[in-house]
Structure 1
Amino acid sequence: MEVFGSSGVRGVVGDLMTPAFVGRVARAAGAVWRDSHDGPGRPVAALARDTRRTGETFADAAAAGLTSVGLDVHRLGVVPTPGLQAYAESEGVPGLMVTASHNPPEYNGIKLIGGDGIELDRSELERVEAHVRAMRSDGAVGPGYAAWNETGRSRSVGDARRRYVESVVEAVDHGAIAAADLTVALDPGHGAGALTSPDLFRELGCEVVTVNATPDGHFPGRNPEPVPENLGDLGRLVRAADADVGIAHDGDADRAVFYDAAGRPVEGDATLAALAAADLAPGDATVSAVNVSQRLVEAARGADADLELTPIGSTHIITRIEELQAEGTRVPVAGEGNGGVLFPPYRLARDGAYTAARFCELLAGRGDIAGVADGPRTVREIVAPFDGYENVRLNVSHGGGTEREAMLDAIEAHAAAADADVTTIDGYRLDFGDSWVLARESGTEPLVRVYAEAPSRERAEELAHAMRDDILAATNEG
């Protein structure tokens, strides 16, 4: 697909992302939803946004596109993406989320949600994309507009955030969490989670201290991506407050990453493995992307469960989970090591606050993990069985065109020359037994991403830098 990448559509504001483009995508999605509507009354779509500076403008454009083809619009305002998904599921209406998730402030984007609260699958996205491609910029071609007396109307929904917080509190063992008397240091990164997660963890009985907790689309305290280089303030807050755990979100709060009581970052792959180990049973399956860590491999093996791999991106993971569930296979937990975890029995959606609450359950002593004692635990005790690996991630920017092609050719050549097992589900993953390296094109930014994992930092850096050096050499030769 040309419009929708691995997780919706995103781009730099004023370049790809303009009000006109957002309006066309909304009009296209609205036409698909209108044509599939078979219930009484006018079709309805929910609309929400994160805190980005351009979010209100783009939400207005999206509302115009949706109403122009005859849909009524429920405007939720600033809500985490999983909050929109919870609303969509409870009301049985599709949704459009204006967000660029973890991307820098100059980006914005769109995620499309079905009436079941799940991101649209590839076939549905292709129907929307066909309409988008058919349109001219003046809107003269494409799905028809509603007649003047059949256009939709917008109304504000003021309780969507409250309903979302209550749904998460009700879905976890809030009694056990409260009894653990946890101090939580929270960094929502000025994103949508700033309006929900502090209240959520207080209602779970935690003492909550915050940093970067004012909603601000300029993201003055840190960039939205919750990676260690952006989370120094959180580490310092954990130490200063003597907190039991640090929690950080991305811009739309569908991800959660963790810090231990010493203010040190926890590898997202270790968190995912621990959550999986506590939930998986023999005969179950878990699903992750091609950049999966050996940690999750070990967690699945220890539970006598299967591990299924997909291309990177929540849409691919969700599609595979749905396929497995249709076959009768239980998938209690799935996701990626970037903090995007899904608990399908709860909702087939990445939910940063719910993930963090489930991790607090582990801190409170809930969940059996081989090698971890029962009763209250520390963050480090929970992830200790999955230590022993080092990860390196590098980004290589490109200017598109021939430079991009040269990079992709270099990756293929590097893989062909390596003495490794090669997987091409998404990019090229080279497995060397106890270590691996993966190079793939980003689905949301003009980057090639390089990932490596090995038992030692030295080996992981060796693999990652060798791949990156070949990529850069190819562009220099061009």
Structure 2
Amino acid sequence: MKVFGSSGTRGVANEEVTPAFALDVAKAVGSVREEDRVAVGRDTRRTGRMLANAVASGLAAAGADVERLGVLPTPALQAYAADEGVPAIMVTASHNPPEYNGLKLVGPDGVELSVDALEAVEEALLGESFEPVPWDETGADRAVEGARDRYVDALVEAVDASRIAEAGLTVALDPGHGAGALTSPDFYRELGCRVVTTNAQPDGHFPGREPEPVEANLADLGRLVRASDADVGIAHDGDADRAIFYDETGSFVPGGASFAALADAELSEGDVAVSAVNVSQRLVDICESRGAELELTPIGSTQIMTRIRQLHAEGHSVPVAGEGNGGVIFPAYRITRDGAYTGARFLELLADADAPASEVLAPYDGYANVRVNVGYGSDAEREALLAAAEEYAAAADADVTTIDGYRLDYGDAWALARPSGTEPVVRVYAEAHDEARARELADGFADALRAAL
């Protein structure tokens, strides 16, 4: 797909993702899917209202009534879509920097559109094969109140609130000025937790930190955990579909470790877990110990959700899926990534264990992860980087997997280079049992790519 990447379409707002582009995407959606009603939501980004207005206009021009949900997390919009049986468009760039924005397309089941459905919309968009309806058939536009409250109420019902309340937990929360600032503090308080916050004011400039919940951006959360004597720290990205954790000592928890802990509690013999090609060895080990299968996909929530639905159609049990970036999916709840729900499931682990987070996570220690981005400025540079990755992989003393980029398995460690679906970079990942080894692998791969430029 040229337009819709690993999780929707994104770019610098008003340069790549313009109101005209958003208008055309919405007209393509309205023309291809022929829906009577479509919900529209947005995160806190400065350009969100501008693009949401364009989306609403495009949908109305295609004859769809537009239900404007305002600012809310992506999983809240997905919950509304599923409950109402209407498709939806979310204006968000998720974890990307503040200047970015984008569009994510959701079906009436509340799940991101499958690869096949996205390709149909993309074909109409690129071919400009959409026609406006007559003036007297254009759609209406109305504001919908209470979607955030409905979402929080449903979250409380979906987890064991009494068990969490009995544990008397203190949660340090960093929603990163994103949409989760409007829902997650209330949610965790309704679960009976004491909640302390940082970066909890909705602000599309993201003044306190960048939207991506990676360790380099989360120093404030680590300090807050220590200062407040919190049991756990939870951080979201811009649209709150991811959750990253800090333990009670104020130490960062790698996303692969928290994913493994959550998966370990879910998987049984004969189950299938779904993850992306950059999966941590932690999850590989958990699946082997549980007698579960592990299905790998190209990176991105769209690919993972598409595979989950395929496995369900084949009669397989898929209790957990996701990636080590904090985007965990519990299909029995919804086939969506939901940062607030994931956080609550981690609180259940703490409550069940009656032990600090560091002890709960200890079985999943012993791995180090490194990620390096190699940027490019043109299609020619992108192709040069990928050619260099192929050459490097061919010469490596490793098992090579090419499901998405080039993954090199060395036995004691692995490295992966693949182009981002949302930014003009080739990402290089590496994992090993010590950071020096992981850094060596990542830097070696990245240096080979840079040499091609």
Bucket of the pairwise TM-score, normalised by the shorter protein: over 0.9
Q: State the partner residue of 1:131.
A: 124
User: Are the equivalent residues in 2 in contact too, given 1:19–1:57 (CA < 8 A)?
Assistant: yes
Q: State the partner residue of 1:65.
A: 58
Paired residue for 1:56, among 29, 49, 53?
49
TM-score, normalised to structure 1, is 0.94
Q: State the partner residue of 2:399.
A: 421
Give me the whole-angstrom Cα distance separating, in 2, the residues matched to 1:430 and 1:451: 10
Tell me by how many angstroms 1:465 deviates. 0.6
- 1:129-278, aligned counterparts within 5 Å? 129-135=122-128, 142-278=129-265
For the residue of structure 2 that corresponds to 1:120, the secondary structure is coil
Q: State the partner residue of 2:2.
A: 2
Q: State the partner residue of 2:93.
A: 100
1:412 has 2:405 as partner: no
Amino acid at match of 1:26: A
Amino acid at match of 2:30: G
- 1:9-48, aligned counterparts within 5 Å? 9-34=9-34, 37=35, 43-48=36-41
User: Are the equivalent residues in 2 in contact too, given 1:362–1:377 (CA < 8 A)?
Assistant: no
Q: State the partner residue of 1:287.
A: 274
User: Are the equivalent residues in 2 in contact too, given 1:33–1:94 (CA < 8 A)?
Assistant: no
Q: State the partner residue of 2:115.
A: 122
Give me the whole-angstrom Cα distance separating, in 1, the residues matched to 2:198 and 2:133: 46
Q: State the partner residue of 1:307.
A: 294
1:360 has 2:347 as partner: yes
Give me the whole-angstrom Cα distance separating, in 2, the residues matched to 1:234 and 1:389: 22
For the residue of structure 1 that corresponds to 2:452, the secondary structure is helix
Amino acid at match of 1:392: V
Deviations 1:290-348 (A, max 9, x none): 00000001111111100000000011111111111111111011000000000000000
Give me the whole-angstrom Cα distance separating, in 1, the residues matched to 2:133 and 2:14: 28
The Cα RMSD (Å) is 0.7
Give me the whole-angstrom Cα distance separating, in 2, the residues matched to 1:64 and 1:445: 27
Q: State the partner residue of 1:437.
A: 415
Deviations 1:411-445 (A, max 9, x none): 11100000100000000000001200000001100
Amino acid at match of 1:60: N
Deviations 1:245-286 (A, max 9, x none): 000000000000000111111010011111000010110010
Amino acid at match of 2:442: A
Q: Number of matched residues?
A: 453
Amino acid at match of 2:240: A
Q: State the partner residue of 1:74.
A: 67
Tell me by how many angstroms 1:11 deviates. 0.2
Deviations 1:58-77 (A, max 9, x none): 00000000011110011000
Paired residue for 1:446, among 419, 424, 435?
424
Amino acid at match of 1:431: D
Amino acid at match of 1:291: N
Give me the whole-angstrom Cα distance separating, in 2, the residues matched to 1:266 and 1:158: 36
Give me the whole-angstrom Cα distance separating, in 2, the residues matched to 1:303 and 1:434: 21
Amino acid at match of 1:108: N
1:387 has 2:365 as partner: yes
Amino acid at match of 1:75: R
Tell me by how many angstroms 1:402 deviates. 2.3
Paired residue for 2:434, among 445, 456, 473?
456
For the residue of structure 1 that corresponds to 2:142, the secondary structure is strand
**Any runs of at least 4 consecutive aligned residues in structure 1 with deviations exceeding 3 A, and if so which?**
none
For the residue of structure 1 that corresponds to 2:239, the secondary structure is coil
Amino acid at match of 1:436: W
Amino acid at match of 2:96: N
Paired residue for 1:111, among 84, 99, 104?
104
Give me the whole-angstrom Cα distance separating, in 1, the residues matched to 2:90 and 2:60: 16
Give me the whole-angstrom Cα distance separating, in 2, the residues matched to 1:165 and 1:144: 39
